[in-house]
Amino acid sequence: MSASESSQAWTAGPGAALRGSIRVPGDKSVSHRAVMLGALAEGVTRVTGFLEGEDTRATARVFEQLGVRIETPSASERIVHGVGLHGLRGSDAALDCGNAGTGMRLLAGALAGQAFDSVLVGDASLSKRPMRRVTEPLAAMGARIDSEDGGLPPLRIRGGRELRGIEYTLPVASAQVKSALLLAGLYAQGETVVREPHPTRDYTERMLAAFGWPIEFSPGHARLSGGHALRATDVAVPADFSSAAFFLVAASVVPGSELVLEAVGMNPRRTGLLSALRLMGADIVEENPRSEGGEPVADLRVRHARLRGVEVPQALVPDMIDEFPALFVAAAVAQGRTVVSGAAELRVKESDRIATMAAGLRALGVAIEETPDGAIIDGGGLSGGAVESHGDHRIAMSFAVAAQLATGEVRIGDVANVATSFPGFEALAAQAGMRVGAG
């Protein structure tokens, strides 16, 4: 189902206890990277557990446009016929990244060292997201990328540039920027070294190593040189922790719930929400911890618990950067005050997530005060009402969770983009006991 075919608004809640056992779709970050590295590798890469979402499909379409054959034996599988580091063919038409910041930023890195020109475009939301954070360091490597005023997309990338490695310390922790520089580094003369103020998800580093590229990395640091080759390898994508997050919160807050989330990716750079919820008093048990495709996974059993407000430790922020909308909902129903700070990046996600969550929660009767880099939320109850997700998938799903505990129905507008990361959310949520549907 494409974003435009899915419903534009939901009516959600109040809901019943969440019960049973469910598996959420594949990890978005890993799925993007599997297609990218598979395309640039020599040989055939089979990707299983692939996220069949709009964002990752856009990335696959871009590589098809650049001459890569990608087969779809089933919705959650892709077979990528790699063309090697220098085998992509330029396209006269713009390359459409849809809603995906990850797609556009990583592609900017991968395409900066090609022999041909490229133009990267995105939807209305992506067209408002800052790209200087990648174009500036890529320019320091010798790339030539023109953007619109304010460093916004479209990005016009000149081909035929000689790239050279740089040492770069990221001003703001960002796995997308780090990954863009590492992908450009594959094409650069000499060493590319990236340092981060706080460690971020390291899927690009791990996957480059799995594809046979010599790379040195540790939390907050990565180093590689150009001039090697990527060798195809199979990639097993774990279930996306960020998609599981909505259910972790829903089952924690709705009385009587006991839900198992199967085979969730537990990369420590992704599980900050788990730590934050536990600080709030959540009852979440990791069962059957194991390794799948080189990534830690576990089944998560979550039972209803009484949550209390906390000051979210700033050290957790990069490890839960996509989970704040869900955390805000937990805070809204917890006992006492929750304070979020050090999270200004939330303002430049698919929407300004501090402002959109504050507006929506206020519409449901929650006392929430915005700060420049976070919010102060006084827990209590939620009433029914109408909220807007501003085309932001994670906001839409977070309000669907909030609605389960509201005293009346919640109407959630502009939900089509849920398909970017979580196709089938409504059906899976209903299977678990939530009430959410078109309307």
Residue with Cβ nearer ligand S3P (43 or 130): 130
Q: Please, are residues 27 and 422 in contact by the beta-carbon 8 Å criterion?
A: no
Q: Which range, of 6-14, 136-144, 171-179, 426-434, touches ligand S3P by CB under 6 A?
A: 171-179
Phi, psi of 131, deg, nearest 5 = -115, -10
Q: Which is nearer to ligand S3P, 161 or 349 (CB)?
A: 349
Query: What's the one-letter identity of residue 373?
Result: D
Residue 179 interacting with ligand S3P (CB under 6 A): yes
Q: Is 347 annotated as ligand-binding?
A: no
Choose the stretch contacting ligand S3P; rule: CB under 6 A; options: 45-53, 168-176, 185-193, 367-375. 168-176
User: What number of other Cβ atoms are within 10 A of residue 369's Cβ?
Assistant: 12
Tell me which stretch binds ligand S3P (CB under 6 A): 15-23, 41-49, 108-116, 170-178: 170-178
Q: What is the rounded CA–CA span in Å between residue 168 and residue 256? A: 50
Q: Which of 196, 240, 322, 426 binds ligand S3P (CB under 6 A)?
A: 322
List binders of ligand S3P among 54-113 (CB under 6 A): 102
Q: Is 322 annotated as a binding residue?
A: yes
Placement of tokens 């978005």 in the chain: 28
- Which of 394, 431, 430 is CA-nearest to residue 412? 394
**157 lines the binding site for ligand S3P (CB under 6 A):** no
Whole-angstrom distance, CA of residue 81 vs CA of residue 260: 36
Is 380 labelled as part of a ligand binding site? no
- Cβ pair 17, 431 in contact under 8 A: no
CA-based torsion, 376, 396, 94, 201: positive or negative: positive
Catalytic, 202? Answer no
Catalytic residue among 96, 322, 352, 414: 322
Among the listed residues 38, 106, 40, the one whose alpha carbon sits nearest the alpha carbon of residue 77: 38
Q: Out of 125, 147, 174, 338, point to the residue binding ligand S3P (CB under 6 A).
A: 174
Task: Pull the structure tokens for residue 117.
Answer: 């020109």
Provide φ and ψ at 30, rounded to 5°: -70, -40
Binding segment toward ligand S3P, per CB under 6 A, in 107-115, 169-177, 364-372, 374-382: 169-177
Quick check: 175 binds ligand S3P (CB under 6 A)?
yes
Number of residues engaging ligand S3P in binding (CB under 6 A)? 10
Catalytic residues: 322
- Given the rule CB under 6 A, which residues bind ligand S3P? 29, 102, 174-176, 179, 201, 321-322, 345
